[in-house]
Amino acid sequence: MSSIASLSEDLVDLVDRVKGFMPEAEGIALHAAAQSYFTGGVGVEIGSYCGKSSVYLGDAARLRESTLVTIDHHRGSEEHQAGWEYHDPSLVGADGRFDTVGELRHTLAEAELEDVVVPIIGRSARIATWWNTELDLVFIDGGHTEEAARADYEGWARWVRVGGGLITHDVFLTEDEGGQAPHRIFRAALDSGEFAEAAEAGSLRVLERIKPSPSNG
Ligand SMILES: C[S@@+](CC[C@H](N)C(=O)[O-])C[C@H]1O[C@@H](n2cnc3c(N)ncnc32)[C@H](O)[C@@H]1O
């Protein structure tokens, strides 16, 4: 297996400046895990926001001559809307709607990742209805409602190849620490018997597929 590289100083500086929700220690773990799963194929990220986690994943894809598809409708999750805890008024567009597309493009350009990272603007569950490509990894960091997290698990985990990675963010063991939907899909993946725990850092959980998906054979 190829050695695991660190993020360059320029990219460390960039991810520090990009708006988002990926603490550095978890980002470093994500970067390392992604390097171990990318083998020249495709990975999917759900929840691009402004591209913070996309830089960690995209750089890993570049190092392994792979492709990252990053999916987001760019209208923000519940907690990003006006009046909610994580609302950022600087991300409201001229039309008065929350919009992170421009920030993502800017981040990918500055990271020189535009040839490696392919953004798709849309609802993850809609895109999953026509997706038909086996994946080296899936990173789930989209909507954190029960419905959204469950749809991402059911729509995307099935495409992870045997030996590939299913990585979930914001997995908290108790309600006091945070919402439980990511924890529930992490448990569902383990309980399916198709995945085994591979690594963790903070609220990031890395699972590896050990059995084929019954949905995909
Ligand atoms: C927690 S943020 C992602 C943070 C990002 N990974 C980072 O490192 O900063 C969640 C993102 O998921 C997106 N999102 C929520 N529900 C979605 C859905 N059903 N389909 C696509 N994107 C969705 C939101 O627009 C938001 O940008």
Give the model's pLDDT for residue 69: 99
Q: Sheet containing 195-201: give its strands across.
A: 117-121, 67-72, 42-46, 135-140, 160-168, 204-209, 195-201
How remote is the CA of residue 82 from the centroid of ligand 1, in Å? 16
Give the model's pLDDT for residue 1: 64
How remote is the CA of residue 141 from the centroid of ligand 1, in Å? 6
How remote is the CA of residue 48 from the centroid of ligand 1, in Å? 6
- Burial of 44-73, coded b for 16+ CB within 10 Å and e otherwise, reads bbbbbbbbbbbbbbbbbbbbbebbbbbbbb
Residue 52 CA: nearest ligand 1 atom is 8
- Burial of 8-42, coded b for 16+ CB within 10 Å and e otherwise, reads eeebeebbeebebbbeeebbbbbbbbbbbbbeebb
Specify the pTM.
0.97
Domain residue limits, the chain: 17-169+180-209
How remote is the CA of residue 73 from the centroid of ligand 1, in Å? 8
Pocket flag, ligand 1, residue 74 (CB < 6 Å): yes
**pLDDT 10s per residue in the chain (217 long)?**
689 999 999 999 999 999 999 999 999 999 999 999 999 999 999 999 999 999 999 999 999 999 999 999 999 998 888 888 889 999 999 999 999 999 999 999 999 999 999 999 999 999 999 999 999 999 999 999 999 999 999 999 999 999 999 999 999 999 999 899 999 999 999 999 999 999 999 999 999 999 999 987 5
Pocket flag, ligand 1, residue 148 (CB < 6 Å): yes
Contact, 160 vs 133, CB < 8 A? no
* Number of other residues whose CB lies within 10 A of the CB of residue 166: 27
Q: What is the CATH number of domain 17-169+180-209?
A: 3.40.50.150
Residue 21 CA: nearest ligand 1 atom is 9
Pocket flag, ligand 1, residue 103 (CB < 6 Å): no
Q: Name the residue of 141, 144, 146, 153 whose CB sits within 8 Å of the most ligand 1 atoms, as the mutation to test its pocket.
A: 141
Specify whether 144 is catalytic.
yes
Pocket flag, ligand 1, residue 70 (CB < 6 Å): no
Write down the catalytic residue from 31, 73, 144, 183.
144
Structure tokens at 210: 């050990």
Q: Cα 204 to the chain's mean position, in Å?
A: 10
Q: Cα 31 to the chain's mean position, in Å?
A: 11
